[in-house]
Structure 1
Amino acid sequence: MAQETTSKSDSKGVMTKRQVLNLSTFRPLATLDTDKMAEFGRLNNTIEGLYSTTGEGQAELALAKKVKINARKTTYTFTLWKDSYWSNGDVITAKDFVFSWRRALSPRTKAPNADLFVGIHNARQILDGQLPARKLGVSAPNKFTLVVHLDHPMAELPQRLTYPLFGPQNERVAHKFGKKYATKPQYQVYAGPFMVSAKGNTAKHWHMVPNPHYWDREHVYLQRINVTVYRNWQKTWDDYRNGRLDEVRLQSAANIKLYEKQAAYTARPYSRMVLISYRKQGSRSQVNQLIAQRNARLAISHAINRKRLSQKSYGATSLTAQGVVPAGLSRGQRGTADFAAAQPEQETLAYNPALAKREWQAALKRAHLKRITLTLGYLDAEYSGKIARALRQQLMRQLPGLTIKLKKRGWSYDQATPPAKTDLSLTTKYAQYADPLSMLALFTSTNTANAGSWSNPIYDRLIAQASNAPAFNNRRWNTLLKAEGVLMKNQSVTPLLQPASTYLINPKLNGVQYNTVGTQSNFKGAYFVK
């Protein structure tokens, strides 16, 4: 079995002479090490792997010229292009992938999303400390051949390999700079269409320029991407209106309503889910006894008016949760059924105040309580704060005897799932590839993203069955639906809403690929028209 990609054509006749894109961020550039990033943000434009993502979330070959798969679908043999180069001119080789993947699993590195490697031969044992990283089932028999051995068939492997964590790293450069590697732009090299400039970077500003050795350099049109770190939204808004930014995020329902009919307005859907995680083993035994009860978690879910919660936070463009898998992430064999809409236990997410009160009172009685105070943690960010305040108001109104105290938590660049320090935690989970498994696997007993440490052997077995499937067939689809049914029936996590981010974007900016899964914005083919 083999796959190959072809180049796309374009026309420069409509482009402006100056091709400079100005963007904003609220997070300073903390690291350039792909193994240290929980989220890649703008930096995904500096990374390329065996596959890249299409605008529909599917996988297409990138640094790999072709792939052959054995009959058992447990060995993938990739042939790399011989004319792909790092930004310093070094040839990208199969050994760069071997080095990168082993490094991500090494105990010294502790890549936040290292669980994505599970299924590749020995990855689970390496993560559990039973084997060294050199035992990972990946090898480079020659300069441009990469062989990947799996523990079992993985139908979703190409989609998974689009994620930037699976990109190569230049071993020679990493060894050359040692501890300095990727700490500053001058200590890193890049395989993607852009590279972070080694000049002019500060705590408040950094910028990317085209990678001069990128294999498809002739189809990279932007001369520079400026990224400025802002401390408050008003300054961002002022700079957009004055032409110093090409994109600004709308922060209020009033602004969305005001601008939604303008050419610059866009609502950008994305495969992520805001949900409540439950801490099962806190310091207060009474709280643990309460949260351990399915009735208590169901009561919390039934007490939430998700539609109103969405309107008070992200606005009407967001979707209320139908389950933990986002809408639009995956469809059935014939492309007709959306997985989220087919979730079998949707009544567990229905707004039902009367039922919520009965469930809550039953849970309190069983825990020998009349009232309880729970802590709700949320990220110190605009939208998280809005959701937390609205959620507290709804839960305290509907559930007798409940008091909720809000607690902010800081944002960590290199930590995908922080340890739970509150009884309830507002978290956002992202689908890193276009398959329901990308979300459902996060809640297995051994996954590091399972912040609440929920464990269910039936759920784990169903996810394992789906993970081992050789193809995207109806049996795999139904197995995943059954697994999500177990998750939702127990309300092991409580999904709230699927945000859609709303922006004003310079109408003259064209050619940006806005992904609904994985990494969000690809500027490789972006350009400004006259």
Structure 2
Amino acid sequence: MKKTTKMLMSSLLVAVGLAACGSNSSSSSTNAANRLTMTTFGELTTLDSADYDDVPSSDMMGQIFEGLYRVAANNKVELGMAAQEPKVSEDGLVYTFTLRDAKWSDGSAVKAQDFVFTYRKLVNPQEGHVAQSADVFKNAKKIRSGELPVEELGVKALDDKTLEITLENPAPYLPKLLTGSRFLPQSEAVAQKLGDQYGSNVSNVVVNGPFKLEGWTGSELTWKLVKNADYWDASNVALNEVTVNVSKEVATSVQLFDSKQVQYTTISDQFVDQYKSQPTFHAQPKATMGYMSFNTLKPTTANQHFRRAIAMAYDKQALTNNVLKDGSIPSTGLIPKSFATNEATGKDFVDESGDFLKFDVQEAQKEWELAKKELGVSEATVTLLTSDTGTSKLVGEYLQAQIQKNLPGVTFKLQPVPLKNRLELQRASDFDIFYGTWAPDYQDPLNFLEQYITGGGINFAKYSNPEYDKAVDAVKSTYATQPENRWNQMLAAEKIIMNDAVVAPIYQASQSYLLAENVKGFEVLPFGRTVNLRQASVQ
């Protein structure tokens, strides 16, 4: 009864929020004002680029901030805050950027020191931010581990407009990396003044991107993006206003779209079949991976055989075909298909790595028997933590039914909570298993592999394997400029973690969505942030 009430209240809140924004009911007034209304699947958790762990927050930050590079049409990378391509040293380690004339939304200038402050914040263990993706910077890893002070990070402001970045090893993927939400700049003056309150609501942040965010004090289910007149490229931003509404149930989202209350929404399950022949239907293959992650600090889920049993006990093909029905495909590894290609052979990473944890009831039951012996039990009860969105609940219920059917003696409970609460529980290691999705920031298998190094900032599993750490470190350092060896080392690293089964792969997502025909230039991205609104317009 409580679950039903929450679902109805969520739908009512969205409907009330939309009713209050009456301008969207008239297509002519909406078009004239270049206003867009859209849904997102979860609430905002923060506007602090160093502190987010969720897609909705990343999506919104990508619209209100801009880094040295920005995402252009067709997911290409182009200059953002950088006025020109950087000067690069012969050894490929030192990049010198010149910043363009740009302002924060409070009128102050965007300075090189703002980037220095932000990147230091990413690796400062005293701040609690230890983003391993920042290990590309000189000394970042030693700073994260507490061996060096944060001032030793390889990032310097030579003057207000000149930023020097020194890398630990050559990184040809640096421009793509720097488009990621994690590397979006913060105003040093504002962030230092506000401390822990920075990014907690729209009053506690200043922005430098195409839009400003309004109407979010920390808990709302609807907010607005408003064109930022101070953005350096504002003349090429068509949209004046975007209303964003949290809609956790697909049925509600579809109803809102059909009644012309929103112009963009994602869909799944039976609604894909219903709408796939319509001109408003679109599908974008994604590098986003759906998976379960196990808490290695808990006795039951610390057992490798138990993890392997769970990971092989559910039919992934049936899930994607009969439940999700949105073009998603089964996954048996950590890395998505069509994401990385061997330069020497032309083969896909997934094709070379093979199947690790495929659906196999017999093998799953063998692993369960071994787990029972090692744990000294005849049965086990674990809880799967999920978000309370429609898709998350569907996946959770499917996994529950499959695992309890195929592993007699395992009781598989569900704990659906709001996304913000799920992330809090993950950070506190207060879970047995969680279900989530991961969208890479840049196109390299390393972006997935580095999540699980010992002490990694988003290694919620608390996984620690020296052999794995060594393999990932070699990818970043020893073999950084040796493509074939680097590739093989990434294959080896994936094999280690899949054998340990700290991650149970489920599916690779495909984003099905509905988009009004009068909306142009609206891009759903294959990886990184979900959407790019800077080039969108309403005709």
TM-score > 0.5, shorter chain as reference: yes
Higher helix content, 1 or 2:
2
- Secondary structure of the 1:349 match is coil
Residue matched to 1:519: 529
For 2:81 and 2:242, how far apart are their aligned partners in 1? 23
Is 1:219 paired with 2:236? yes
- Secondary structure of the 1:503 match is strand
Q: Where does structure 2 lack aligned partners over 5 or more consecutive residues?
A: 1-29
Q: Tell me if structure 2 keeps the 8 A contact 1:299–1:360.
A: yes
> Cα distance, 1:228 vs. partner?
2.9
Residue matched to 1:3: none
Match of 2:435 among 383, 403, 426: 426
> Cα distance, 1:366 vs. partner?
4.1
Alignment of 1:166-205 (within 5 A): 166-174=183-191, 181-197=198-214, 203-205=220-222
Q: What's the CA shift string for 1:324-366, capped at 9, x where partnerless?
A: 111222222269322223224x1x3222222322332233234
Alignment of 1:383-422 (within 5 A): 383-412=391-420, 417-422=426-431
Match of 2:281 among 255, 265, 274: 265
Change in Cα spacing, 1:203 to 1:392, as seen in structure 2 (3 Å) is closer
Alignment of 1:494-513 (within 5 A): 494-513=504-523
Residue matched to 1:38: 53
For 2:216 and 2:329, how far apart are their aligned partners in 1? 42
Q: Indicate the RMSD between aligned Cα atoms, in angstroms.
A: 2.9
> Cα distance, 1:426 vs. partner?
1.9
Residue matched to 1:76: 95
Match of 2:296 among 255, 277, 280: 280
Q: Tell me if structure 1 keeps the 8 A contact 2:95–2:166.
A: yes
Residue matched to 2:24: none
Q: Tell me if structure 2 keeps the 8 A contact 1:155–1:471.
A: no
- Secondary structure of the 2:293 match is strand
- Secondary structure of the 1:146 match is strand
Is 1:296 paired with 2:306? yes
Q: Tell me if structure 1 keeps the 8 A contact 2:122–2:134.
A: no
Change in Cα spacing, 1:316 to 1:48, as seen in structure 2 (3 Å) is closer
For 1:328 and 1:466, how far apart are their aligned partners in 2? 20
> Cα distance, 1:183 vs. partner?
4.2
Q: Tell me if structure 1 keeps the 8 A contact 2:202–2:217.
A: no
Residue matched to 2:5: none
For 1:301 and 1:471, how far apart are their aligned partners in 2? 35
Q: Tell me if structure 1 keeps the 8 A contact 2:131–2:456.
A: no
Q: Tell me if structure 2 keeps the 8 A contact 1:57–1:433.
A: no
> Cα distance, 1:249 vs. partner?
2.5
Is 1:138 paired with 2:155? yes
> Cα distance, 1:201 vs. partner?
11
With the length of structure 2 as denominator, give the TM-score of the two structures.
Answer: 0.85
- Secondary structure of the 2:136 match is coil
Match of 2:68 among 50, 55, 58: 50
> Cα distance, 1:522 vs. partner?
0.8
Q: Tell me if structure 1 keeps the 8 A contact 2:131–2:458.
A: no
- Secondary structure of the 1:158 match is helix
Is 1:25 paired with 2:36? no
Match of 1:352 among 350, 356, 360: 360
> Cα distance, 1:92 vs. partner?
2.1
For 1:521 and 1:335, how far apart are their aligned partners in 2? 32
Change in Cα spacing, 1:45 to 1:481, as seen in structure 2 (3 Å) is same
Instruction: Write the letter of the residue equivalent to 1:460.
Output: D
> Cα distance, 1:169 vs. partner?
1.9
For 1:27 and 1:229, how far apart are their aligned partners in 2? 6
Is 1:63 paired with 2:81? yes
With the length of structure 1 as denominator, give the TM-score of the two structures.
Answer: 0.86
Change in Cα spacing, 1:353 to 1:33, as seen in structure 2 (3 Å) is closer
Equivalent pairs counted in the alignment come to 504
> Cα distance, 1:235 vs. partner?
4.5
Residue matched to 2:17: none
For 1:205 and 1:371, how far apart are their aligned partners in 2? 44
Alignment of 1:445-456 (within 5 A): 445-456=454-465
Residue matched to 2:267: 250
Residue matched to 2:119: 101
Farther off after superposition, 172-181 or 272-281: 172-181
Q: What's the CA shift string for 1:240-289, capped at 9, x where partnerless?
A: 222121012224x222101111111112332221212222222xx5x26x
Q: Where does structure 1 lack aligned partners over 5 or more consecutive residues?
A: 1-14
Change in Cα spacing, 1:55 to 1:456, as seen in structure 2 (3 Å) is farther
Q: Tell me if structure 2 keeps the 8 A contact 1:36–1:109.
A: no
Farther off after superposition, 268-277 or 126-135: 126-135
> Cα distance, 1:307 vs. partner?
0.7
Identity %: 27
